[in-house]
Structure 1
Amino acid sequence: MLPWDTDLAGRLDRNTITSELLRDNPLGDPHERPLWVYVPPGYDDTAERYPAVYVIQGYTGSLSMWANRTPFRQPFPETADALFAGGAPGCVVVFVDAWTSLGGSQFVDSPGTGRYHSYLCDEVVPWVDAHYRTIADRASRAITGKSSGGFGAMITTMLRPDLFGSMATHAGDTLYELSYIPGFAKAARALRSYDHDISRWHADFQARPAFTKPEDHDLIELLCLSSCFSAGADGTPELPFEPTTGVLREDVWARWLAWDPVRMVSSHADALRSLDSIWIDAGTSDEWYLDLGAQAFRAELAKIGVPDERIHFELFEAGHMGIDYRYPLSLVWLAERLQR
């Protein structure tokens, strides 16, 4: 572990973790992964143990992007550090890498991408608890993310409530009939140029600079999500629609819908009722209608009886992009509620 960013009041360690679960993964992506861990001011001066907040990235996000600077804004590790230096209750903040060569993993276990959910829960969390003075208890552990990361936060607390007792989702992927189906139509049109074969497009994509054709964004996302949600046993991604017509393949589409957090609520009601804190937000002009998805997710939580006092729900004026300033807001909210 090497300390970096000595101008911080706390410390950001850039570590490397060796994952046995990701070794020989279907895409041939690295099984040695970067893992950044921030410790708050005072961590090195006491024997105190701290709650931990795990941060997972959105689609096409990679770990190094947390250090990127945009005009007039600080990177999230710096804004988090300023919060803790300013008096917010100290937390260990863990930045997890789950990038794949298709742009993401959705933090699920899949024969098409690899065992990224298990990697997060069964390798990263124990590694952090072994190497840092965390409080190794669900009531002292939260997970947060935006977009695909928000989706990952929702499903992880549903699937592993033994590990995570709180979560925050910023414009997390939900309500798939609104967020995903519009993209299917664009993708089906784009595939006409590739004989309706997404593998032909992908070969072309890999042979030239990425995102130099207008269809690239829609098709790489479709390929990634199909690899995560509807890969065959041999890892081959199955599209959720007929590529020549755009007509939904109901059996494949059902596999996608099984991962829709809105639809997952009822079957994971006990896990969700056990959570201590749930932050949900989205911009009212979100291009993928994730504000409506956030409302639908909130409504499902009400149906299963999650108490209002455990939930922060907020819609704000914004689209999907440029909402990184929301991360510090939920971080403080979670830090004030995690057990110490």
Structure 2
Amino acid sequence: MPPWTEDLEGELHEHVVSSRALRGNPLGDPHERPLWVYTPPGYGDGAAYPTIYVIQGYCGTISMWRNRTPFRRTFPELVDALFARGDVAPALVVYVDAWTGYGGSQFLDSPAIGKYHTYLCEDVVAWVDDHYRTVAHRDGRAITGKSSGGYGAMVTAMLRPDLFGAFATHAGDALFEASYASSFPLLARRLRDDFGGSYDAFLRYFRDAEVPLLHELDELLIETYGYAAAYSSDEDGTVHVPFDPATGSLVPDVWERWLAWDPVRMAAGHADALRSMRGIWIDAGRQDEYYLDHGASAFHRALRDVDVPADRIHFELFDGTHARIEYRYPMAIEWLTGRLTRENR
């Protein structure tokens, strides 16, 4: 692979979208956001195209899609190579920016972070439909992501089946007792030893540090606080973490608020939405460090429990960890595009 940018057969268009939903958000984050739209070879033929929305994992920024790992293509290059083959149903691919001052939002509306679910579903989708030739119907849209992006894909499809008719989740956050709770004692130890058992003291350090995130646990500490801001914040913006920072023990009422947002547990209450999907792709590495292989298996079982037809599900555990799995994303995109309507082409 070349060590520099490859020329694309399609085109990657860079835009800025002004979001009404994010204007005046609690963290003071920008309401104007970058948005990339990939158009495949042949887009100038005048037809309408299905759209795949791509959302990122926690602490992801849109510019990181261009990060190059030695001897591997970037994700935009992988997408272009997929559609340049000529044997894959063409689609637009939309790269969404959802960075926040906490590193992420879980793509939910939160009084502590902002209305990122509304931003994605109302502002971004409407902008793309207004500016590109899309199949502007839920059966012409899919959403996909990894990790927190995979979580966002699951939850967004469950909450807005009127907008999205298919989704893919790569090692998406699920089965919270396995993927989240196992880290709480370790985080409490860092808070106890260095911040007097106070999350507020850590947040002051995080905001004031000249070089933040120097300790190996600091990124996970701010990430977990961001999850709490998404899952368990009050209407006045107060954030409640699900464990006692001084001891590591669970706080039952807060933990229940987190569990209510676990896709595994949400599935039963959104059975109709899940059964309406044209396709659901679930995968994860068998050696995932955050046990999201168990989350993928549990979510797959939850789908079968609510009678999602087996022929609409692709479920796979592969040899791999949580990292360096970008080669999986085009597989899911190819599978999804084959399930989205192309009646207007």
TM-score, structure 1 as length reference: 0.97
**C-alpha deviation, 1:247, in angstroms:** 1.6
Letter paired with 2:39: V
Q: How does 1:15-30 map to 2 (within 5 A)?
A: 15-30=15-30
Q: Deviations over 1:25-82 (max 9, x none)?
A: 01110000000000000112x1111000000000110000011111111111111111
1:198 aligns with 2:199: yes
Is the CA contact 2:98–2:107 (under 8 Å) kept in the aligned structure 1?
yes
Q: 1:232 aligns with which of 231, 234, 239?
A: 234
Letter paired with 1:183: S
Within 2, Cα distance between the matches of 1:222 and 1:291?
A: 20
Q: Name the counterpart of 2:155.
A: 155
Is the CA contact 1:186–1:218 (under 8 Å) kept in the aligned structure 2?
no
Is the CA contact 2:10–2:38 (under 8 Å) kept in the aligned structure 1?
yes
1:174 aligns with 2:174: yes
Q: Name the counterpart of 2:47.
A: 48
**C-alpha deviation, 1:210, in angstroms:** 2.3
Is the CA contact 1:67–1:75 (under 8 Å) kept in the aligned structure 2?
yes
Within 2, Cα distance between the matches of 1:26 and 1:180?
A: 25
5+ long unaligned stretches in structure 1: none
The runs of 4+ residues in structure 1 deviating greater than 3 Å are none
Within 2, Cα distance between the matches of 1:75 and 1:16?
A: 22
1:137 aligns with 2:137: yes
Within 2, Cα distance between the matches of 1:280 and 1:9?
A: 29
Is the CA contact 1:174–1:297 (under 8 Å) kept in the aligned structure 2?
yes
Q: Name the counterpart of 2:243.
A: 241
Letter paired with 1:159: L
Q: Superposition RMSD on alpha carbons, in Å? A: 1.1
Per mean C-alpha deviation after superposition, the further-off stretch among 303-312 and 233-242 is 233-242
Within 1, Cα distance between the matches of 2:6 and 2:33?
A: 23
1:222 aligns with 2:224: yes
Within 2, Cα distance between the matches of 1:282 and 1:58?
A: 14
**C-alpha deviation, 1:218, in angstroms:** 2.2
Q: How does 1:299-310 map to 2 (within 5 A)?
A: 299-310=301-312
Q: Name the counterpart of 2:274.
A: 272
Q: Deviations over 1:92-151 (max 9, x none)?
A: 000001110111110000011100001000110011000000000111100000000000
Q: Name the counterpart of 2:114.
A: 114
Task: State the identity as a percent.
Answer: 58
**C-alpha deviation, 1:313, in angstroms:** 0.4
Q: Deviations over 1:260-297 (max 9, x none)?
A: 00000000000000001000000001111111111111
5+ long unaligned stretches in structure 2: none
TM-score, structure 2 as length reference: 0.95
Within 2, Cα distance between the matches of 1:197 and 1:109?
A: 26
**C-alpha deviation, 1:232, in angstroms:** 2.1
> Does the residue aligned with 1:265 lie in a helix, a strand or coil?
helix
Within 2, Cα distance between the matches of 1:127 and 1:286?
A: 36
**C-alpha deviation, 1:6, in angstroms:** 9.2
Q: Deviations over 1:136-177 (max 9, x none)?
A: 011110000000000000001100000000000000000000
Letter paired with 1:196: G
Is the CA contact 1:61–1:103 (under 8 Å) kept in the aligned structure 2?
yes
Within 2, Cα distance between the matches of 1:77 and 1:141?
A: 19
Is the CA contact 2:39–2:93 (under 8 Å) kept in the aligned structure 1?
yes
Q: Deviations over 1:300-325 (max 9, x none)?
A: 11111111100000000111111111
Q: How many residues align?
A: 335
Within 1, Cα distance between the matches of 2:66 and 2:23?
A: 27
